[in-house]
Amino acid sequence: MMADVDWDALTAEAVTVMHRAYAPYSKFKVGVAGLMDDGRIVTGCNVENACYGVGLCAECGMVSNIHATGGGTLMAIACVDQHGDALMPCGRCRQLLWEHGRPTSLIRTPEGIMTLADILPQAFGPQDLIDRAEDRTHRG
């Protein structure tokens, strides 16, 4: 899979959308681009708000874009800061990426290419909800 990803092109898409970020308060612009299982690229950028807690991370915008453009599974992700350098997603965003990718989906990090399982070990996902609901029904 890693050989099939054009990391330079994916990162360039992230840099392009990073320039569209709305970050008047922190001045910390973030862009993200994801390669989907059908070959399309989805993007997102951070959008701040004067009420800091309601700002949206770039990954949130990208996940919305995934669903707005037909759904699918993330195969590879590049997230960049305002300088175009690889940026590790925050914990909340790692969870979002996990739910819309696979454990083996790839992400470019400041330490190189990793899998989502590498950056979110023992992740909680949809299967946990199913397994636990079934467990409760069997216990009576």
Contact partners, residue 102, CB within 8 Å, separation at least 6: 73, 74, 75, 116
Query: What is the rounded CA–CA span in Å between residue 82 and residue 30?
Result: 6
Q: Tokens 């454990």 sit at which residue?
A: 103
Query: Is 59 among the catalytic positions?
Result: yes
Among the listed residues 41, 7, 14, 42, the one whose alpha carbon sits nearest the alpha carbon of residue 30: 14
Out of 48, 59, 99, 111, pick the active-site residue: 59
| 23 three-class SS | coil
Q: Which active-site residues does the annotation give?
A: 59
